[in-house]
Amino acid sequence: MRALGVFWLVVLAALAGGAAVLQWLGPPEGGVPPRLAQGAAPGEPPAEPAAPAKPAEPAPAPPSPVVAAAPEPASPTPAPPSAAEPAAAQAEPPALPSAPEPPPLPTPVRRAEAQPDRPIPPPDPALQEPSRYGPLPRVGPEGRTSIRAYGRSFDRGETRPRVALVVGNLGLSAALSEEAIARLPPATGLAFSPYAPRLDPLLERARLRGMEVLNAIPMEPANYPANDPGERALMTTLPPAENGDRLAWVISRLSGQVGAIGALGPMRGERFAALPELIGGVQDVLRQHGLLYVDPRPGAPSPARAWGRSVDIVVDEPATRGEIDRRLAELERIARERGSALGLAGDVTPVLVDRVAAWASGLESRGLVMAPVTALIRRPEEIPR
């Protein structure tokens, strides 16, 4: 009997030691296994499972048997899909058919770009001859003339109506002349007064812009002496030799000129030009020096004995804004009817420069092209033998 008591004492001590060890070790990871919960000692309530640790990745736990003493868990609320879930697991909208490739755009037809303005070459010594007044133009080797050497380049195949303009009386006011050279279209012809001082700087600026230069020949006008063309003017009362000497002085005043025009401001040499032999002699001299001649009288026939042309309209009589605009529009109308038209502005003024610059800026959009004077000249019909 005593031995039996010792046995039970040993068993109880072993059980107590095992319980102490289990308590020291703690519950196993993941809670009490179900089989241990079912094998609890009778009359002893099952131990509450510890809260399971959150796994690193969500994974469904194996279903465990329902413990009679545990309350029935509520049905879990489905969680929204995690961003870590593959895209294929989420619902995808039905794929739309891909749009067809658009057809290639047609290549636009590109017009040839306008070439930049080229400066007029400086005076060529081969096209000059000495005189008592200084170098005079002359016809050079192989028939080279100042008309071609100092003329502005122009596409001779151009089919649009051509308009040309000569602005006169430059050089007397340096400031106004510089403004005209800077603002007028480069195709504008500039007629300089031979009485102007210090012409070389203005001529150089004009050449750099590619502007053709003409000489303004003073000739006896209508209503002389009320209208005085100056001491070097060609007069009907002078002998031919004197007029020839004065003409040599006039054309020696400009270097790099393409020709001359018989107008000095509002005076257009009407009385002198009305005598065919006198004006014909002037044209002969200009042709022999390789120069053209522009007759400033609207409606006059083209020069018969020199390369040149007469003007179609004077655009600044009177020199008011409205009248200048009206006459420039008339110049366009003449160009459309005849294929070309040449206008003259007898005197450079601020309002003239402003109106011509505005008019020329929209010329091409109206279907016309501005041409230099050398692109409109005609061959002389009569050349004395």
In a domain, 80, yes or no: no
For residues 258-284, average pLDDT: 97
pLDDT per residue over 122-158, tens digit each?
999 999 999 999 999 999 999 999 999 999 999 989 9
By the 10 Å C-beta count (0-12 exposed, 13-18 middle, 19+ buried), 235 is classed as middle
What's the pLDDT score for residue 47? Answer: 47
What's the pLDDT score for residue 28? Answer: 53
In a domain, 162, yes or no: yes
In a domain, 60, yes or no: no
Return the CA Rg of the chain: 53
Max distance between CA atoms of the chain, in angstroms, equals 181
Task: Phi first, then psi: give them for residue 293, nearest 5 degrees.
Answer: -135, 130
pLDDT > 70? residue 177: yes
Domain count of the fold of the chain: 1
Q: How far apart are CA 233 and CA 264, in angstroms?
A: 10
In a domain, 77, yes or no: no
Q: Which domain holds residue 316?
A: 126-375
| Mean pLDDT, rounded, of the chain | 82
For residues 310-327, average pLDDT: 97
pLDDT per residue over 76-88, tens digit each?
444 444 444 444 4
What's the pLDDT score for residue 332? Answer: 98
Q: How far apart are CA 60 and CA 143, in angstroms?
A: 107
In a domain, 291, yes or no: yes
High-pLDDT (> 90) share of the chain, %: 68
In a domain, 32, yes or no: no
Task: Provide the CATH number for the domain around residue 169.
Answer: 3.20.20.370
In a domain, 4, yes or no: no
pLDDT per residue over 274-301, tens digit each?
999 999 999 999 999 999 999 999 999 9
Instruction: Determine the 3-state secondary structure of 124 from DSSP.
Output: coil
169, 344, 273, 228: CA torsion to nearest 10:
-30
pLDDT > 60? residue 30: no
**383: pLDDT confidence band, cut at 50, 70 and 90?**
confident
* Helix extents (H) in the chain: 2-25, 34-38, 146-149, 174-183, 200-208, 240-252, 270-273, 276-288, 321-338, 350-361
For residues 177-205, average pLDDT: 97
**121: pLDDT confidence band, cut at 50, 70 and 90?**
very high
In a domain, 212, yes or no: yes
pLDDT > 70? residue 98: no
Range with top average pLDDT, 31-45, 54-68, 353-367: 353-367
